[in-house]
């Protein structure tokens, strides 16, 4: 008998039949389409620019599975086209089309008499870690949690190797980068290639209103690389404190991380905060910051998240490798469904080596190249950036968002000190 995913074919087909037909016939479905169009232009150096056009259609479907459980699915297809000056040969056919299952999840709760509530989950969903900086990817897995009073415990396990590369955002090692290059140069616009294989486990604990309405959370995250060569295993322990103090709401978190590479083991740390002050009017003042640094003395050591994430609104290739940013902004909500604001920030490197230094890519770690960043620069200050942002939902189906951001490089830190710009407009239509 032929087998699919190591399961007899007949059993596999019966399970699929049950999954699709029983919920459909017994329960009512909610469905809807979301369409999104993003137009963005970036400008760097004296003459370089890059225009991007991204169109996406999402099909949402959900159904209750009895009073305490539900099923949700999101299927997505996108079309992306880019244009460069100076001209760069496209790595994928331009435009190119992708399609993937973005969510396919069963979830629910089981009330326990006198003992709280069990919450469970199985399937694929977007998963973020406690900081939102370390893990932000669609993953397949299972989770089990327990609410008891003000406390919540949960244990979750995920596998990365079934998600398509464009939706995973996981690029940690040089091997990941090589795999992506194979995908992006293959030349088939309908090619589906899963991301690198990893196991990810999370153990979470949170307690609300621990004192004076303040909330505490802790998360232990472990990532095990199943790749054959140049594997990188990482663990992260995060502690977070959040809460309101009068009109102030704040969030503070700190993470310690250990990285086990093919050559060595290193330690690093991340700390971040966000605070906002709500005025009696519609205005809100906010500040946030992030700081990462190595804790071991190796020149190639630094903080490495699982998914690529960076501190800058403009320098999209800048990562969290030994970097700091602090920003201050003000926002307003002039209408019920409209908001706008302005934000100013400054960027720093926290070690004498930066992301373009050769030491940054040692021990199988992948770091993208930051255009014009001087690899020999050793001082902290990198430059300042400012952004204007706004969003407007005029009706229940239309929403618009815009972001205009500029980065002024410090002349010694960058070989070209022209302003770098990013302008983006996003239009969403719900059907």
30 counts as binding another protein under rule CB under 8 A: yes
430 counts as binding another protein under rule CB under 8 A: yes
18 counts as binding another protein under rule CB under 8 A: no
From residue 354 to residue 393, the character string flagging contacts with another protein as x (rule: CB under 8 A) and all else as - is: ---------------------------------------x
Applying CB under 8 A, among 185, 344, 397, 411 the residue interacting with another protein is: 397
Q: Output 393 or 417, the one with its CB closest to another protein.
A: 393
Element (H or E) spanning 82, and its range? strand 69-85
Q: Which of residues 309-338 bind another protein (CB under 8 A)?
A: 336-337
Q: Output 62 or 98, the one with its CB closest to another protein.
A: 62
Q: Output 418 or 430, the one with its CB closest to another protein.
A: 430
Q: Output 30 or 77, the one with its CB closest to another protein.
A: 30
150 counts as binding another protein under rule CB under 8 A: no
Cα–Cα distance between 250 and 241 in angstroms, integer? Answer: 8
For residue 170, give the DSSP letter. Answer: B
Applying CB under 8 A, among 7, 398, 411, 412 the residue interacting with another protein is: 398
Could you tell me the smallest distance in angstroms from the CB atom of residue 395 to another protein? 3
Map residue 2 onto helix, strand or coil: coil
For residue 307, give the DSSP letter. Answer: B
Could you tell me the smallest distance in angstroms from the CB atom of residue 397 to another protein? 5
Cα–Cα distance between 420 and 374 in angstroms, integer? Answer: 15
Query: Around Cβ 383, how many Cβ atoms within 10 Å?
Result: 22
Burial string for 393-417 (b: 16+ CB within 10 Å, else e) reads beeeeebebbbbbbbbbbeebbebe
Identify the CA nearest to 193 among candidates 171, 173, 160, 165.
Answer: 165
Cα–Cα distance between 328 and 287 in angstroms, integer? Answer: 4
Q: Output 94 or 397, the one with its CB closest to another protein.
A: 397
- Return the structure tokens found at 181: 């290059």
25 counts as binding another protein under rule CB under 8 A: no
CB within 8 A of 89, min separation 6: which ones?
A: none
Q: Output 3 or 337, the one with its CB closest to another protein.
A: 337
Kindly list the residues in this chain that would bind another protein in the complex (CB under 8 A): 28, 30, 62, 64, 336-337, 393, 395-398, 430-431
């Amino acid at each position: 008998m032929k087998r699919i995913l190591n399961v007899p074919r007949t059993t596999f087909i019966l399970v699929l039949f049950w999954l699709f037909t029983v919920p459909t016939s017994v329960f009512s479905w909610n469905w809807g389409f979301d369409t999104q169009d993003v137009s963005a232009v970036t400008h760097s150096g004296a003459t370089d620019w890059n225009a991007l056009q991204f169109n996406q259609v999402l099909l949402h479907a959900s159904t209750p599975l009895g009073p305490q459980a539900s099923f949700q699915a999101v299927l997505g297809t996108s079309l992306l086209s880019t244009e460069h000056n100076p001209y760069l040969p496209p790595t994928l056919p331009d435009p190119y089309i992708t399609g993937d299952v973005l969510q396919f999840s069963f979830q629910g709760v089981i009330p326990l008499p006198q003992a709280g509530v069990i919450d469970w989950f199985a399937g694929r969903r977007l998963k973020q870690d406690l900081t939102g900086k370390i893990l932000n990817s669609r993953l397949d897995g299972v989770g089990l949690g327990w609410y008891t009073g003000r406390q919540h415990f949960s244990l979750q396990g995920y596998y990365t190797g079934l998600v398509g590369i464009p939706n995973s955002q996981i690029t940690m090692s040089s091997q990941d980068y090589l795999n992506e290059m194979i995908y992006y140069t293959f030349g088939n616009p309908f090619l589906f290639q899963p991301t690198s294989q990893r196991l990810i486990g999370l153990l979470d604990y949170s307690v609300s209103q621990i004192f004076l309405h303040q909330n505490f959370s802790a998360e232990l995250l472990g990532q095990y690389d199943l790749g054959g060569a140049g594997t990188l295993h990482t663990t992260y322990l995060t502690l977070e404190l959040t809460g309101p103090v009068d009109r102030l709401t704040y969030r503070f978190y700190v993470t310690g991380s250990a990285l086990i590479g093919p050559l060595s083991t290193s330690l690093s740390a991340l700390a971040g905060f966000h605070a906002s002050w709500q005025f009696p009017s519609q205005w809100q003042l906010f500040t946030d910051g992030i700081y990462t640094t190595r804790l071991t003395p190796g020149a190639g050591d630094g903080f490495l998240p699982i998914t690529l994430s960076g501190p800058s609104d403009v320098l999209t290739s800048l990562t969290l490798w030994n970097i700091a940013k602090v920003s201050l902004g003000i926002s307003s909500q002039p209408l019920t469904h409209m908001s706008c604001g302005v934000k100013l920030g400054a960027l720093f490197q926290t070690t004498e080596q930066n992301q373009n230094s050769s030491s940054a890519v040692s021990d199988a770690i992948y770091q993208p190249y930051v255009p014009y960043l001087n690899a020999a620069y050793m001082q902290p200050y990198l430059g300042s950036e400012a952004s204007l942002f706004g969003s407007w939902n005029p009706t229940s189906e239309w929403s618009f968002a815009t972001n205009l951001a500029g980065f002024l490089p410090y002349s010694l830190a960058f070989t070209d000190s022209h302003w770098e710009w990013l302008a983006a407009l996003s239009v969403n239509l719900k059907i």
